[in-house]
Structures are given as C-alpha cells and as structure tokens.
C-alpha cells in the first residue's frame, strides 16, 4: 500500500464518520421534540453527562462541554428552572456544588432515548440485517475511543 492509498483510506473513514454524524445529529435533534421541556441539544448533552457522572461539579460539566464555568452556571440555572436538576453543596467540600438529576430529567432522557432508538431501528430496516453486526462493531470502536458508556448504563437509569 502506498502513502497516497493510506491517506485516501484515512479520508474515506473520516468522511464516512462525518457523514454519519450528520444523520445521527438529525435523529438526535428530532428526538428532543418528544420532551415538553423545550430542551436544547446542549442542555440534553448536559443531562447525559450528569447522568453518567453522578454528583458531577459545575467545573466538570464545563470541562466536558468545553465552555467556561460561568456559561455552565447559566446553563444550570435554566435546567434548574425547568425542574430538571438540583444543585447541592458537597458534603466533603463546601466550595463544591454537585449537580444531580431530578426524576423529570430521567423521564426526559428515557423518552428521548426511546424515540431515538425507534428512529434508528427504522433507519436500520433499510439495511440488510446480515450487515447489522458489521455496523455495530464499527460504531462500538468509535464510541469506545470517545469513552462513551454502553447502552446498558442507560437501561439502568430507566
């Protein structure tokens, strides 16, 4: 294999993932419409992070989202107003505020996930089932590399 071929394969892989991300982003955005809390994608992603990192701090959430603490503080204010999270002072460190999901947020995450799963199932029905394992293996590699938790974690929340 020459260097040019490797670059072509690299670009093809990157292009395929970017293309796929557009499809999945469209599904993700559509799935938010099922929640009556008027969630934005960033707010949803914040709830996902909080669900995966129980009692995370504002700083940890800001770091994950790649934004400043004041930005996340305002985001948390909106989530608090919507009744989706609570902020508690840590029992170990009085300076640390911990974020906790409220039952309404867990219900919203469950509804969004169910809607998303249905959309993805409908999409997969257009692909021969003999190829599904191939798709799952490739996507697992990407998800594992990104540190994304398995679906089993989500099923425990429901």
What residues does 99 pair with on adjacent strands? 56, 87
For residue range 22-80, what is the model confidence (pLDDT) as tens digits? 999 999 999 998 887 688 989 999 999 999 898 899 999 999 999 999 999 999 999 99
For residue range 108-151, what is the model confidence (pLDDT) as tens digits? 999 999 999 999 999 999 999 999 999 999 999 999 998 887 77
The rounded percent of the chain whose pLDDT value lies above 90 is 68
Q: Write out the two tokens for 138.
A: 């490739």
pTM of the model: 0.78
How buried is residue 112: exposed, middle or buried, by Cβ count under 10 Å (0-12/13-18/19+)?
buried
In the three-class reduction of DSSP (H, G, I as helix; E, B as strand; rest coil), residue 56 is classed as strand
Sign of the CA dihedral 36, 41, 47, 48? positive
């Amino acid at each position: 294999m020459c260097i040019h071929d490797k670059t072509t394969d690299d670009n093809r892989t990157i292009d395929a993932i970017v293309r796929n991300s557009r499809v999945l982003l469209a599904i993700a955005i559509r799935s938010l419409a099922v929640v009556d809390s008027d969630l934005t994608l960033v707010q949803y992603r914040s709830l996902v992070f909080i669900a995966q990192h129980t009692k995370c701090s504002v700083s940890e959430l800001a770091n994950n989202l790649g934004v400043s603490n004041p930005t996340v503080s305002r985001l948390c204010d909106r989530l608090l107003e919507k009744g989706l999270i609570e902020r508690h002072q840590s029992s170990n460190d009085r300076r640390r505020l911990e974020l906790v999901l409220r039952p309404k947020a867990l219900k919203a995450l469950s509804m969004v996930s169910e809607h998303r799963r249905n959309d993805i199932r409908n999409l997969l029905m257009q692909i021969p089932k003999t190829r599904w394992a191939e798709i799952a293996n490739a996507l697992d590699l990407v998800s594992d590399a990104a540190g994304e938790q398995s679906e089993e974690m989500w099923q425990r929340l429901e």
